[in-house]
Amino acid sequence: MENNHTCDLLIVGGGIAGLSAALEASKYGKVTLLTKGKIGETATEKAQGGIAAAIDQVSDSTEFHFEDTLAAGAGLCDEKAVRVLVTEGVGRVKELIALGAQFDKAETEAGGTRYALNLEGAHRRRRILHAGDETGAEIEKTLGRRVAAEGKVAIHQRMMGIDLLAENGRCLGAAALNQQTGETRIYSAKATLLATGGVCQAYLYTTNPPFATGDGVAMAYRAGAEVTDMEFVQFHPTSLVQLKGFEDLIALPQFLISEAVRGEGGVLLNEKGERFIHELAPRDVVTRAIVEEMEKSGSDHVYLSLRAIAPDKVKHRFPMIYQTCLERGLDITKDNIPVAPAAHYFMGGIMTDSDGKTNIGGLYAAGECASTGVHGANRLASNSLLEGLVFGHRAAVAAKYEIQNTKYEGITKFETTNSKPRLKDFEAQRFKLVIKSAMWNGTGIIRSQESLEDALNKLVKVEKQIDFAPVSADELELRNMLLVAKLIARSALGRQESRGAHYRTDYPRKDDANWQRHLVYKMTNGEFRMTN
């Protein structure tokens, strides 16, 4: 392929949001989709629990789903966006089923079948469709299979975004690194959609795959896009704690024990074997309760017990979790699972409207890298896959008008470098570890002015040591991780209250009078500035 590529819509990211957008946009334009790794290597593929949608209109309703989402969001959800999510979500899920997605079913008393809907934290009704405990993989396979079958989308694998190309307040495409050749390729497009996923690799303990380094958020911010809700990072209550004898796995992401396990009857126990929290309370509540129990006992974990669930059901309902734990020395049909919280999901990101539009002309964002306002201060379980599906599609629809009514503008300038990487692999990993440790200790589950300022000081020290143009994928990731880490820490320092996933010991209560608002930031003259 040549080093200059032209298309109507450039999509950066191949998870559920990117694939949903690609399917829709390929109906009316030339679409190119960039994936950082191989196709299918996304956070979507790792999603276990399921996708929430009120498809059972007898016992459930979109109004119930709407109300549950608002309640979880702790006063910061955008009601218009939530209404879009829960209403359009039903149709999008039915389309997914029509494309061939195989969600689990159960027999009815009348001898027929229905979808086996699960219950998860803060949902008042069973509305979680699932495919065993590998729902994300089933959805990604379904969408990917259709994209491949139609053959209308040019997929460029192992292409990592370097920077957006913007002039006069408009995005004209992006520059990307070919990780196989080391060359820079220029992608010119009438519209660009960022669907690059989350940022939680900025934390020492995370359930996110290694490539979730905040690339899209960082690229957009450097180009002048507004970001919002950066302080809201969701920590999942139950990730598998490292077992003795399995130290070789320490560098891998924390293995997630899905919330669906608690939805089916799993209970949390402290060191004394006592239940200490309602398992299906909102995630921030459960997470802080676990931290409190760990501090009381001096342990690095609590326990999740599945003994109330029949062994055959455990194996059938959670085959991947069962097998993975078995490989690590645990039979979860009878052994308690040692669990602890880990960084899991990012509620903040690139600020968009309900069509995925940003403040930069021609630039859209969808999925975890975007902040539409649907999650507020705390995401409702299993709304993430739904968000990617709904808003990826909406962004593609919105881009149609722009593509058909915008004259193509070529890239006039982009400086490339032929220099070699400055950092060796182990040096880049060492800097990443400093960032991850600073973020976990300073901007984690429990925060304070002192901890946040300490984290920022450590991040600034790293910044001074890597003040050069990145060349390799490791250097690009390091630059992006550092930027999103600083944005999270500064935003958390700015919000002087506790709300949803953001908890400060020095401001332990929610303050609606002063802080029931979104904090929006933009880079102005190279500096971090609040715009609202």
Angle among Cα 34, 35, 39 to the nearest 5 degrees reads 125
Q: How many CB atoms lie within 10 A of CB 145?
A: 14
Query: Which residue type does 428 have?
Result: A
Residue 33 has, within 13 A of its CA and on its CB side, a CA count of 32
The C-alpha atoms of residue 145 and residue 132 are separated, in whole angstroms, by: 20
**Catalytic hit among 283, 288, 479, 495:** 283
Instruction: Please answer whether residues 243 and 338 qualify as being in contact, where contact means their C-beta atoms are separated by less than 8 angstroms.
Output: yes
Distances (CA, A) of 428 to 421, 471, 482, 531: 10, 12, 12, 33
Residue 283 has, within 13 A of its CA and on its CB side, a CA count of 33
> Is 262 one of the annotated active-site residues of the chain?
no
Distances (CA, A) of 67 to 73, 83, 170, 512: 10, 10, 37, 19
End-to-end CA gap in the chain: 44
Beta bridge partners of 163: 175
Beta bridge partners of 166: 171
Q: What is the token pair recorded at 316?
A: 């059938």
Instruction: Report DSSP letters for 143-193, one per residue.
Output: HHHHHHHHT-EEEETTEEEEEEEEETTEEEEEEEEETTT--EEEEEEEEEE
The C-alpha atoms of residue 291 and residue 299 are separated, in whole angstroms, by: 10
Q: Which of 138, 106, 70 is nearest to 373 (CA)?
A: 70
DSSP state of 254: P
Q: Which of 42, 65, 236, 216 is nearest to 139 (CA)?
A: 42
Return the active site residues: 283
